[in-house]
């Protein structure tokens, strides 16, 4: 899963990036409102962490622009402002959740996981596809009740497929949602990683749909 962090405080931005990457997210960071708006308007993210008090363009204005242009990714607002009127402005602009500084880094991770899960249409914290399970709160996969050891890249790929189980996900879509913007999209690393995940699953769950992409589905499903 791919996250955009828009935060002008360098120390906090770095802590957020490190925390989210340690939780197996791919992370892009913008340090002012104009760059943040541009990235959110041109790249594909599964969720955004957005500060309200930004230079060049404030967070509420950014959010309104995204929503007006049809950008529907969930947005978690971070701010030092605690007045209800300012929180309301964020929600009215299209925010999905809110944290007031200071906050616990782990809470950012849990809230983002919940936002991403709900945005994909899943109400329960555990996702299932045949014998495969994903505990979205803990960020752990298991197969037939046995934990699966995955690298960060493998986890992001399988997590995205699990959130969209049963649907065909194109190679381009998968690349856009599991790597940051600096990744070489011409690389064949995705195919290599899909092969490694298949071997770890030891089950016919990831299907290649010729000319279209990949579909995660129980082998017994039609």
| Cβ proximity of 161 and 30 under 8 Å | no
Q: Kindly report the average pLDDT of the chain as a whole number.
A: 90
Q: Can you tell me the mean pLDDT for 165-176?
A: 92
Of the candidates 24, 78, 15, the residue with the CA atom closest to the CA atom of residue 46 = 24
Judged against a pLDDT cut of 90, whether residue 206 lies above it is answered with yes
Q: Are residue 138 and residue 170 in the same domain, yes or no?
A: yes
Looking up tokens 């879509």 gives 173
pLDDT exceeds cutoff 70 at 32: yes
CA-CA distances (angstroms) from residue 199 to 62, 65, 81, 164?
Answer: 43, 44, 49, 21
User: Looking at the predicted structure, is the pLDDT value of residue 100 above 90?
Assistant: no
Q: Is residue 171 one of the residues assigned to a domain?
A: yes
Residue 49's domain is classified under what CATH number?
Answer: 3.40.50.2300
Model confidence at 129: pLDDT above 80: yes
50 occurs within a structural domain: yes
Asked if the model's pLDDT at residue 221 lies above 80, the reply is no
Per-residue burial over 110-119, b = 16 or more CB atoms within 10 Å of its CB, e = otherwise: bbbbbbbbee
Residues 111 and 159 in one domain: no
Mean pLDDT across the stretch 170-191?
80
Q: Give the integer Cα–Cα distance in Å for 25 and 214.
A: 20
**Cβ neighbours of 188 (radius 10 Å):** 7
The arithmetic mean of pLDDT across residues 8-24, rounded, is 96
Residue 92 has pLDDT above 50, yes or no: yes
| Confidence (pLDDT) at 35 | 97
Closest among 114, 121, 66 to 90, alpha carbons compared: 66
Percent residues over pLDDT 70 in the chain:
95
> Are 189 and 111 found together in one domain?
no
Angle (nearest 5°) at CA 96 between 95 and 101: 75
Report the CATH number that the domain containing residue 194 is assigned in CATH: 1.10.10.10
pTM of this structure? 0.86
Q: Which of 43, 53, 46, 106 is nearest to 78 (CA)?
A: 53
Are residue 84 and residue 134 in the same domain, yes or no? no
**pLDDT of 184 above 70:** no
What is the average per-residue pLDDT within 55-83?
A: 91
DSSP structural state of residue 217: -
pLDDT digits (tens, 9 = 90+) for 104-117: 999 999 999 999 99
């Amino acid at each position: 899963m791919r996250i955009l962090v828009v935060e002008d405080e360098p120390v906090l931005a770095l802590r957020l990036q490190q925390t989210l990457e340690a939780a197996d997210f791919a992370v892009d960071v913008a340090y002012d409102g104009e760059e943040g708006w541009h990235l959110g308007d041109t790249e594909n993210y599964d969720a955004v962490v957005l500060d309200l008090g930004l230079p060049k363009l404030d967070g509420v204005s950014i959010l309104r622009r995204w929503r007006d242009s049809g950008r529907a990714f969930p947005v978690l607002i971070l701010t030092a402002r605690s007045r209800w009127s300012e929180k309301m402005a964020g929600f009215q602009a299209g925010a999905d959740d809110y944290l007031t500084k200071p906050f616990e880094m782990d809470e950012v991770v849990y809230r983002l996981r919940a936002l991403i899960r709900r945005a994909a249409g899943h109400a329960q914290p555990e996702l299932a596809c045949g014998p495969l399970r994903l505990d979205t709160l803990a960020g752990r996969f298991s197969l037939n009740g046995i934990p699966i050891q995955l690298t960060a890249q493998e986890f992001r790929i399988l997590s995205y497929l699990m959130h969209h189980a049963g649907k065909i996900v194109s190679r381009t879509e998968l690349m856009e949602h599991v790597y940051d913007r600096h990744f070489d999209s011409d690389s064949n690393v995705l195919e290599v990683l899909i092969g490694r995940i298949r071997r770890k699953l030891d089950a016919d769950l990831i299907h290649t749909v010729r000319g279209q992409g990949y579909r995660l589905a129980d082998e017994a499903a039609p």
